[in-house]
Structure 1
Amino acid sequence: MTTALDRPARTHLPRTVAFAGISAAMVAILVAAGAPTPLWPIYQHEWGFPSWLLTLAFGVYALALLVAILVIGSLSDHIGRRPLMIASLALELVAMLVFLFAPGIGWLIVARVIQGVATGAASSSLSAAVVELAPEKHKKLGAMMTSMAPLAGLGIGALFAGVLAEFASEPAFAVWLVLVVVMAAGTVFTLFTPETVSRKPGALASLKPQVTLPVQVRGLFASALPGIISSFFFMTLFLGLIPVVLVAVFKVHSPVVGSLAAFVAFAAGTALSATTSGIKPQRLRLAGTSAMTVGAILFVASIGMHSLTLLWAASLIAGAGIGASFAGATRGLVPEVAPHQRAGIFTAIYLAGYLAMGLSAIIAGVVIGIVGVASTAIGFGVITALVALTGVIVTNRR
């Protein structure tokens, strides 16, 4: 039987060019995920819908992404990286078009669901392709790209959309038009990338959701779980809740300011992830959960004292904590299992994280409609602080 690698070669880009392009596509997917952050208040002002619908739109994205990871996560191992990369980027393009022409909040929610599925489908295939296409002498570069891209992409996406929205006459249209062009270019580029794995049977069976956590790391995973959950709580906070808080509590309507909290947080997280390879995983987790505890307390204080300075400090400290905690969790768990068990580790991490993100966003939306934005934000910050503090205690005891 002829495999994808055995077929006559078509016109393909050199592997180094393909590596750079697929790395850029991976970042672009995350840029698009962070782009709505400063746009939500603009949509709310123009269309006059309640704040809880914004958090709902954020929550359904996380849940759709989670379902896609569980169902499609290992499909590229069977059908090849290229077909799934092309399909996911094309679906992301569809989501950008729905955003571009959305006439109301209902269509924004539809776009977020499509985007969640596309991002989930892309996460495994693009990440694997980046590692496999990395130059032989620089294989660590591929692994570094996959670990840095999520936080970096989300932060860049929020800042990019905020700056463009600040100066464009039609902010949302300008942001989505740029991303339509980017996703179209990424889809076309992927058509010419080389395949990196052979096809193998079992594609349909791989669609059955499975989460297998090796016995030898279950205790370690349990101790890392509070840090993972609090990291994703903060992602909900920075991407979904803070833009609403800035308008309702601080009366800040600037899209750039609305995007800065997310950018500062994710830039700090990216920097920590990139510069701490020599630190032991347990120390990273302890430092990360400690920083997130402090960041959550500062966030609550910023609401109570109406202090933007404290809000930026909370973003910086909590963002560093996200990067340290997540890096410590993955670096501690992955070396403890065999190569064929690593997919199960990441699936378990993302299952816990995105479930926490999606449910917390939806619950926050319900609570906003009852007690208001300020009280919801304070409650969210207190719960996040308690979860992160649990991580400090559990990690220190272990």
Structure 2
Amino acid sequence: MSSVISQRSSLAFLVITVLTFLAASSAPTPLYQVYQDNLHFSAAMLTAIFGVYAVSLLAALLTVGSLSDYLGRKPVIFAALLLNIVAMLLFINADSTAYLLAARALQGFATGTATAVLSATLLDTDRVRGPMLNSLAPMLGMASGGLGSGLLVEFAPRPTQLIYFTLLGFMVLQALYVWRLPETVSRIPGALKSLAPTLHVPPQARRALWLAMPLNVAVWALGGFVSSLAPSLVRAATGSTSHLIGGGLVAVVTLSGAVMIYSLRNRAANQVMRLSAALLAVGVGLLLVAVQTASLWLFFVASVIAGFGFGGGFMGSVRSIVGLALPHERAGLMSAFYVLSYLAFCVPALLAGNLSRVFGLIATTDGYAVVLILLALGALGGLLMQDAARARAAA
């Protein structure tokens, strides 16, 4: 009985910690316009502040992403929490772009460190619910961070500090509690060697990883665009100046993604991925219509449908690979998965941010949406061909 309670408390702690890291990652989104108005920096600097987070996160995944396979899970989770605590303190005191760049860089490295180790620890703790929680917790975290920050910006005093004080409190408590977790892997030699930038993908998981990539790229490219440019897009298309809308769109996409994940948690990965690819294409198509018609309500309808595709595509991709790694391979595999995911998250969004200065945000969004639709439809076609090949082989 005590082991069951221990497992439940461990799962609860891990999920809450993932929620906290992802909430912190999306909290700045509704604040970008506030920072830009207060500190008077350019759109290029805004893109840099978004980009430095992603670059730093990728650096962490490539170097320390598999470190917990060698040192154990708890020390790496603790180190990630300490780094993020320092990042929150930088945000609280941010009075220049230098502070914002430093805070986002440190936050990116902390989140990259935590992403792989927390994903692996969830899988270690519960092989049945772990994949679903690995998909659900980030969605809920991004939603709570974006929406909570947007509400504070719109209605609370000290909007650029209160959200970070709240997150700081959670992180301090988590840093104290983490040592009560049971360790799920034993220490093995090779920690220093593992820091060399590389992707640790077990041979038996490589084919499944590449088959999942087209849909996963489309999913994360949508997430990067929403996280970085959604507030500016709504303002450009509809004229709305509410800070709540930008965070609201992030919340709508991620919450509908969470609903999709929970609703389809018992379905086969390939079924989830097929449905998600179709929904993603439809949702992004409706987003195009919303931009062209300047319809705020259609923005949210499109975001719900695209969010279904976002969440289901993410879960289906994770579930298609996680069962293919041994315990001491899990952090490395999840690190590689997230490296590819965050490349899709940041590179297209950074490119869109730069192109918008040349062609305008509306025209850039049109092109971005068309590419996402083609990716989603291509992924759907590939999945259908894979299912047909399996059916022929079984006949």
TM-score, structure 2 as length reference: 0.89
Aligned with residue 388 of structure 1, among 376, 382, 387:
376
Aligned to 1:200: 188
State the SS of the aligned residue for 1:396: helix
Question: Which residue of structure 2 aligns with residue 352 of structure 1?
Answer: 340
List alignment gaps of at least 5 residues for structure 2.
Answer: 387-395
Residue 278 of structure 2 aligns with an amino acid whose one-letter code is: S
Alignment of 1:243-322 (within 5 A): 243-322=231-310
> Could you tell me how far 1:367 is from its partner in structure 2?
1.2
1:60 matched to 2:52? The reply is yes
**Residue 225 (structure 2) pairs with residue 237 (structure 1):** yes
Aligned pair count? Answer: 382
| 2-structure distance, mates of 1:209, 1:254 | 42
The letter of the residue matching 2:320 is G
Paired with 2:191 and 2:204, the residues of 1 have a C-alpha distance of: 28
Distance across 2 between alignment mates of 1:349 and 1:288: 19
- Partner amino acid for 1:281? A
Q: Hey, what does 2:12 align to over in structure 1?
A: 20
Question: Mean Cα displacement is larger for which, 331-340 or 350-359?
Answer: 331-340
Counterpart of 1:43 (choices 35, 41, 60) is 35
Instruction: Indicate conservation of the 8 Å contact 2:131/2:315, yes or no.
Output: no
Name the CA shift for 1:95/1:333 in 2 (closer, same or farther; >3 Å).
Answer: same
Q: Secondary structure at the match of 1:279?
A: coil
Query: Shift of the alpha carbon at 1:67?
Result: 1.6
Q: Structure 1: which amino acid aligns with 2:216?
A: I
Matched position secondary structure for 1:195? coil
Are 1:371 and 2:359 an aligned pair? yes
Counterpart contact for 1:66–1:351, Cα < 8 Å: yes
Does the 8 Å CA contact 1:56/1:361 hold for their aligned counterparts? no
The residue identity in structure 2 corresponding to 1:264 is: V
Alignment of 1:170 onto 2:158: yes
Q: Return closer, same or farther for 1:279/1:82 CA change in 2, 3 Å cut-off.
A: closer
Q: CA deviation at 1:15?
A: 5.9
**Counterpart Cα distance in 1 of 2:329 and 2:189:** 19
In structure 2, what is the Cα distance between the partners aligned to 1:345 and 1:16? 25
CA contact (8 A) 2:253 2:306 kept: yes
**Partner AA of 2:106 in structure 1:** I
Residues 132 and 393 (structure 1 numbering): CA distance in 2 closer, same or farther, change over 3 Å?
closer
Q: Would the aligned equivalents of 2:71 and 2:191 in 1 still touch at CA under 8 Å?
A: yes
Identity across the alignment (%): 34
Structure 1 position 131, deviation (Å)? 4.2
Mapped contact 2:135–2:318 kept (Cα < 8 A) = no
Select 1:362's aligned residue among 327, 333, 350. Answer: 350
Shift of 1:117: 0.3
Does structure 1 retain, via aligned residues, the 8 Å contact 2:53–2:107?
Answer: yes
SS at match of 1:291: helix
Cα distance, 1:280 vs. partner?
2.5
For normalisation by structure 1, the TM-score amounts to: 0.89
Quick check: 1:88 aligned with 2:80? yes
Conserved? CA contact 1:51–1:368, under 8 Å? no
Q: 1:189 to 1:216 in 2, by over 3 A?
A: closer
* SS of equivalent residue, structure 2 residue 187: coil
What stretches of structure 1 of length at least 5 have no aligned partner?
A: 1-12
Q: C-alpha separation between the residues in 2 aligned to 1:335 and 1:82? A: 22
2:185 match: secondary structure:
coil
Alpha carbons 2:19, 2:140 under 8 Å: kept: yes
Q: State the partner residue of 2:137.
A: 149
Q: Secondary structure at the match of 2:157?
A: coil
Q: 2-side partners of 1:19 and 1:333: how far apart?
A: 21
Separation of aligned partners in 2, 1:68 and 1:221: 20
Q: Does residue 1:106 correspond to 2:85, yes or no?
A: no
Letter in 2 for 1:42: V
Q: Which residue of 1 aligns with 2:110?
A: 118
Is this contact kept in 2: 1:69–1:120, CA < 8 A? Answer: yes
SS for the counterpart of 1:153 is helix
Q: 2:119 aligns with which of 120, 127, 132?
A: 127
The CA distance in 1 between the partners of 2:155 and 2:383, in whole Å, is 46
What is aligned with 1:10?
none
Relative distance call for 1:328 and 1:192 in structure 2 (3 A) is closer
Is contact 2:120–2:334 with CA below 8 Å preserved after alignment?
A: no
The equivalent of 1:4 in structure 2 is none
Is the contact made by 1:247 and 1:253 (CA closer than 8 Å) also made in structure 2?
A: yes
Distance 1:125 1:218 in 2: 20
Alignment partners' CA distance in 1, 2:60 and 2:133: 22
Mapped contact 1:86–1:187 kept (Cα < 8 A):
yes
Structure 1 or 2: more helix by fraction: 2
CA contact (8 A) 1:294 1:317 kept: yes
1:352-382 Cα offsets, whole Å, 9 max, x none, are 2111222112212211222222222222222
CA RMSD of aligned residues (A): 2.3
Q: 2-side partners of 1:333 and 1:220: how far apart?
A: 6
Which amino acid is 1:359 matched to? V
